[in-house]
Structure 1
């Protein structure tokens, strides 16, 4: 019998935590009939997650899974959050400070606005977003509860030094 998501999460969280990382997501998909179960574990860390760490985690999780009664047929994938992963938890915002993101924000009347800005300081309820309006920089405070979606955008050039100073809390 294949494991459920909660069982898998309970097995991997201590292993991932011991590596100084966080479990960001766990998914379990069962194959048709008595086929293979696909298990995906997504991890995240303060300084990102390197390939060596992913390899070590895969070995440790596989060893733990192989002790389980359901371990006859499964495929395991341990991966880091992708650049297109949504910013949902406060740690996602904090770990992406200084990066550009596209946000969809909803106001109290239900109106939706999409804008791009550089992620700045974060507190318990708000994130500061450095916005550039035709060359004029400003900081927009956004309540996390008002964010419908947010994702880091890929930048090909160097960010403006003035934007980076505002995003990291220093005055330009």
Structure 2
């Protein structure tokens, strides 16, 4: 069994009740040590309804608290053996592909490029549910602006686009 597979249940158990969920864990040799990388994200409530509001990113304090929790759990277990390790805990970056419905739900409000058999589509993710996503696609020279529904089963690949001048959220009156 790979080291990451042994660590996953230890980290999952440590995170119970914290409001965080384990996205990924990896172990990489680094000389006489190992680097244990743990990616966490906010746990979203289960449900079949579409999410239409942005999820708050993890704060530095939340990551620091999670790091202490994970470190204590790893030190108390024998999953890593006696070899020393360096622990790195963070949240997934924008370069990480969107592969599951929960990834889309966490990125509502962001600009997303979806690759599917019928072509590439870039638009603002305005809603995401367990089976589909809604994108607001801006107008081009030949096609007017539109809202397009994309079933998740049709998505081959999707990524969040980095925006340096992200539009402000609409102001409530």
Normalised to the residue count of structure 2, the TM-score between the two structures is 0.78
- Confirm whether residue 152 of structure 1 aligns to residue 160 of structure 2: yes
Matched with 1:169 is none
Aligned-residue RMSD, C-alpha: 2.4
Distance 1:71 1:143 in 2: 47
Q: Secondary structure at the match of 2:137?
A: strand
Contact 2:15 2:69 in 1 (8 A): no
Question: Cα distance 1:3–1:148, how it changes in 2: closer, same or farther (>3 A)?
Answer: closer
Question: Cα distance 1:61–1:3, how it changes in 2: closer, same or farther (>3 A)?
Answer: farther
Q: Secondary structure at the match of 1:120?
A: strand
- Confirm whether residue 44 of structure 1 aligns to residue 55 of structure 2: no
User: C-alpha displacement at 1:105, in angstroms?
Assistant: 1.2
Please list every run of 5 or more consecutive structure 1 residues that lacks an aligned counterpart in the other structure.
108-112, 165-172
Contact 1:30 1:36 in 2 (8 A): yes
Matched with 2:7 is 8
Matched with 1:114 is 120
- Confirm whether residue 140 of structure 1 aligns to residue 140 of structure 2: no
Matched with 2:106 is 95
Distance 1:11 1:71 in 2: 16
Matched with 1:55 is 64
User: C-alpha displacement at 1:100, in angstroms?
Assistant: 0.6
Question: Cα distance 1:17–1:67, how it changes in 2: closer, same or farther (>3 A)?
Answer: closer
Please list every run of 5 or more consecutive structure 2 residues that lacks an aligned counterpart in the other structure.
43-54
Normalised to the residue count of structure 1, the TM-score between the two structures is 0.79
Distance 1:40 1:71 in 2: 18
User: C-alpha displacement at 1:71, in angstroms?
Assistant: 4.3
Equivalent residues, number: 155
Counterpart of 1:81 (choices 87, 92, 96) is: 92
